[in-house]
Amino acid sequence: MRELFDEAAGRPPLDPQEAVRQAARAPQRKRFYKDAGVADAEGGFAITLDCKPIRTPSGRQVVIPSRALADAVAAEWAAQGETINPMTMPLTRIANSVVEGVVDRVDLVSNDLAKYLQTDLLFYRAGDPEGLVAREAAHWDPVLFWAAEALGAHFILSEGIMHVKQPDEAVQAARAALPRDAWSVAALHVVTTLTGSALLALALAHGVRDAGQVWAAAHVDEDWNAEKWGADEEAAGRRVARLRDFEAAVAVLTAVKPPTAEGP
């Protein structure tokens, strides 16, 4: 199992696209187990292959805090055919990454996530055409208004791609709203890297936007271009792969029910 999901120490944590690239390059291993299951473990639930708990590359037992999430991870293992394809196991990849690289450095991962607040997707607006400007505003402004009113995080918007330094106070206020448990932080890191927006991830965690709204908001420009010029098949394929990882991160976030979550 370890060779399949090996993530070298020191790499940026939980980069889902890099994980997919690594999985695609790695030779697929033949299935070496008959049954995948879930067993009680200290602090949660273990995933077992033929009654033996799976472990991370460093030898840590993978313990998942939610039974529903553990069942879903076990289902990924059970669904494998003659060979094991890590690209079809996004929940397993997240679980492995959390245990291996997040539980002992939640603050480090949170800080890495918070760096996106300096260059968040929502800050950089189109100047034209009018329809795209309006669509960006419809998807993005409610999240920015919420950040300002609920979190006290007042960010600066820019037209085009010229970088604008964000106020330290705004970044710190949004950073303070991140959850503090490893699983939620890990899930939000995945959402952030996939969408390019830590604010969308925060809105999802706090119940201000649901998963469908977040995914749509992250692809406003892409969808606009596809409507005008037609979809690119290669780009569409990459988007399907990203959506699989996004949905896995949402499932993790939902299953662990972070204490910072609040209603809309």
| Superfamily of chain region 2-102 | ATP12-like (3.30.2180.10)
For position 24, what pLDDT does the model report? 56
Do residues 14 and 109 make contact, with C-beta atoms less than 8 angstroms apart?
Answer: yes
Asked whether 93 and 168 are in contact (CB, 8 A), the reply is no
The predicted model scores a pTM of 0.88
Tokens found for residue 225: 């271009």
Categorize the per-residue pLDDT at 4 as very low, low, confident or very high, splitting at 50, 70 and 90: very low
- pLDDT surpassing 80 at residue 25: no
Stretch(es) of the chain classified as CATH 3.30.2180.10: 2-102
Rounded Cα distance, 249 and 91, in Å: 7
Work out the percent of the chain whose per-residue pLDDT is above 90: 77
Q: Looking at the chain, which residues constitute the CATH 1.10.3580.10 domain(s)?
A: 107-256
Contact 45, 64 (CB under 8 A): yes
Task: Return the number of other C-beta atoms located less than 10 Å from residue 131's C-beta.
Answer: 12
Mean pLDDT of the residues in the chain: 89
Say whether pLDDT at 45 is over 70: yes
- Per 3-state DSSP, the chain is made up of helix, strand and coil in percentages (nearest 5) of 60, 10, 30
Mean pLDDT of 166-193: 96
> At 141, is the secondary structure helix, strand, or coil?
helix
Which CATH architecture is the domain 107-256 placed in? Orthogonal Bundle (1.10)
Nearest to 86 by CA among 113, 54, 109, 59: 54
Using CA atoms, how far apart are residues 29 and 33, in angstroms rounded to an integer?
11
Enter the tokens of residue 107: 């603050």
Q: Express each pLDDT in 198-253 by its tens digit.
A: 999 999 999 999 999 999 999 999 999 999 888 888 888 899 999 999 999 999 99
